[in-house]
Chain A
Amino acid sequence: MTTTQELSLITESFVLNMGPAHPSTHGVFRMRATLDGEVIVDIEPIFGYLHRGIEKLMEERTYTGCIPLTDRLDYVNAMNNNFAYCLAVEKLAGVKVPERGEYIRVITAELQRIGNHCLAIGAMLNDAGALGTPFFYLWRQREKIYDLLEMLCGQRLMQNYMRIGGMSQDMPDEFLPALAKFIPQLDSFMNEFDFFLKQNEILYARAKKVGILPKDVAINCSISGPVARASGIKRDLRKDDPYSIYDRFKFDIPTGEIGDCYDRYRVRIEEMRQSTRILEQAIKQVPGGPFRADVPQVIRPPVGEAYAHVEGPKGELGFYVVSDNSIAPYRCHIRSTSLINLTALRQMVRGWKVADLIIIFGSIDITMGEVDR
């Protein structure tokens, strides 16, 4: 039998440029992939196609005026971005948020987490070639979440709902009944969706043991969120460093076993269930009273610096704000989850095939708006 060596067949690897305009790069991400046939020898991620200089823009605006900019970071979950930024500024200015405001914040943040995971799972399955079917079913649920958020603040995608010290407006009377009606419907949908996809042979073959992110690599790369939890790192800021009122709720932290694409998918599904648990508890506990502390539109926090982080749907989202006692932040740095989670991509995809690169990339769940800022 003649082998390749005996025939002295010379094969070369070639460079395939994926993106910035590619159906599965979730925006304008670019990968220079070196391929040997179908096998990925190496990839080089290239960022920066969506850079808008948000950190610099924030230095030109008042503290309240920066909030719309944070919406545009990770446009899929604007509420969590608002949340992290407001927490940082409140820490800096020493503002106490009233109880009702905290509850509205938690409700909106968890709703957005569900919405984000709907998109993440749908996009990942779309990348796996499911041709939109699961995507559309999840999209419908996300649509209902947007309807609820629209009810709160009149805006669907970039809500810009939080303010320093609370929310921009109180929630209408019909919101809580609508939310209470939505939760059981979402639960039954999740069960049905899970039933169909948990036992899908092709999804299992495509995602199981594919793109394993070992625990130590995940820790070294500072990976957070569902990606880290899928690798078996039981870390969730809502439990480890409870901000706002998260210490009042009972919920579990789902973790994966080996950190493959399937685990990341499962962790997201379970997290959606846990979020509905938090919502159920929050609905029962919402108190009356003011929804916003008495904070002026233009504030001058004392000289100093503050860092606040939240457990966003994609992972740890942090804002580092420096004040020089003027009306605008002296410097604002964003610890963007997507960018840091993306750093492990190269180690995850080497040796896999082109099709795996797409599903691994999809399973990390990034938003380019947050990567490039």
Chain B
Amino acid sequence: MAIADVALSTPLAMQVTPADWPGGYWWHWLFFTIVIIAFVLVMVMGAIYIERRGMGRMQNRLGPNRTGPFGLFQPVADALKVLLKENIVPTTADKIVHWLAPVVAFTPVLLIFAVIPFQNGALLADLNIGILYIVAVSSISTVGVFMAGWGSGNKYSLLGAMRDIAAVVSYEIPLVLAIIGVVIVSGSLSLNQIVNAQDIPYILVQPLGFLLFFIAACAEINRSPFDLTEADSELTAGFHTEYSGMKFAMFYLVEYAEAIAMSAVITTLFLSGWRGPLLPPWLWFILKTLVVFFVMVWTRTVLPRVRIDQLMGLAWKFVFPLALINLFVTAAEVIIWPDVSQWYFVIANIVIGAVLVFLWSRIYKPGLGRIEV
């Protein structure tokens, strides 16, 4: 049998669908596709609301409060405004690439949610390589960003896209290394099983891993202080300078959907996902995701932006070596004391993490960054 036939006859996800799901694979698939799209859109609206109101509060102002009660309909108004704008394509643009870029950027973000468990077993596909899949899929967005930068025929866009490629290539490695720490402790690549294994949230078992993952995730999705791709004060709007109307709305959606996706991944990997007392599991999941997102809004509000060479320096001189050490320490602990309660790891890892970060931040100096011309 040819390989293609195998792939068609038994979709990978079908093999891992929970056995008790009524109606078989296709109903399951349809239900979760709709749920995921609705979830992403609603969460993005919530995220926009939290960001605009939260930033407003932190910046000594009210934030939008005119549309609906407490300004709750502001995201709707935003979306309508953007959608009704004229679609402008610059004459120097590479038309097809310019048109395709928002789609290429948006699709992978939706794909991430395919493997994230909303509650126990409630996910589109319980891939046994779930976390690997996320790492692979989430990087595809960068292609969309680079297409936007190249296809716009604008130097600002190109500079922004170059920065995005540089950031993603650098931060992908510490991101994966931080994940491997979690995988070693939980003993699985499947996100559902990782959550099931978290009797203690891994933010405690892997505090350093969490910190490094958070930094790397922020850099991957271009959240401040690593928002060099957009860098409104430097590159006007970076890669989406030339976008308007619906296509800009897509990029706007990608920005927040990526942030929500990364918050969901952080929730799943480090904050014990849907697990929690009293409230229903899916509500726990959403609450934790929004809390992580709020931390992102918080950092965005209070921190200035780093420079491109400082961004790379942080990746290679700070995050990457610490992630390696963290990986080594975690692996050693698991091998040497396989049967010890994880609470010992919690204490040891918090101490090790704090000492490492303290010492390394003494050693690490951001470079000067000037080049003789």
Q: Interface of A with B (CB < 8 Å)?
A: 14, 16, 22-24, 36-42, 125-133, 136-137, 140, 200, 202-203, 205-206, 209-210, 350-356, 358
Contact A353 B309 (CB under 8 A): yes
In the bound complex, what is the Cα–Cα distance between A129 and B306 (angstroms)?
Answer: 8
Query: Which of these, A39, A129, A137, contacts B60 with CB under 8 Å?
Result: A137
Q: Interface of B with A (CB < 8 Å)?
A: 55, 58-61, 155-156, 159, 162-163, 224-225, 227-228, 231-236, 300-310, 366, 368-373
Given known contacts A137-B60, A200-B304, A202-B303, A354 and B234 CB-to-CB distance under 8 angstroms: yes
Contact B304 A128 (CB under 8 A): yes
The A interface, classified by DSSP as helix, strand, loop or mixed, is mixed
Contact B303 A23 (CB under 8 A): no
Contact B234 A24 (CB under 8 A): yes
Chain B contacts for A356, CB-based, 8 A: 307, 369
Give 8 new A-B contacts, CB below 8 A, not counting A202-B225, A202-B304, A356-B307: A23-B232, A41-B373, A128-B304, A129-B234, A136-B60, A206-B305, A351-B372, A355-B308
Residue pairs across A and B with CB atoms within 8 Å: the count is: 99
Nearest CB of chain B from residue A25's CB, rounded to whole Å: 10
Instruction: Determine the residue in chain A with the shortest Cβ distance to B369.
Output: A353
27 contacts between A and B (CB under 8 A): A22-B236, A23-B232, A23-B236, A24-B233, A37-B162, A38-B159, A39-B371, A128-B233, A128-B304, A130-B305, A131-B224, A133-B59, A133-B301, A133-B302, A136-B61, A200-B304, A202-B305, A206-B304, A209-B368, A210-B370, A352-B369, A353-B308, A353-B309, A353-B369, A355-B234, A356-B369, A358-B234
In the bound complex, what is the Cα–Cα distance between A137 and B61 (angstroms)?
Answer: 9
Contact A129 B373 (CB under 8 A): no
The B interface, classified by DSSP as helix, strand, loop or mixed, is loop
Chain B contacts for A40, CB-based, 8 A: 373
Chain A contacts for B163, CB-based, 8 A: 38
Chain B contacts for A23, CB-based, 8 A: 232-233, 236
Of the listed residues A37, A38, A200, the one surrounded by the most CB atoms of chain B closer than 10 A to its CB is A38
Chain B contacts for A140, CB-based, 8 A: 60
Of the listed residues B224, B232, B373, the one surrounded by the most CB atoms of chain A closer than 10 A to its CB is B373
Instruction: Determine the residue in chain B with the shortest Cβ distance to A207.
Output: B304
Contact A206 B307 (CB under 8 A): yes
In the bound complex, what is the Cα–Cα distance between A37 and B161 (angstroms)?
Answer: 12
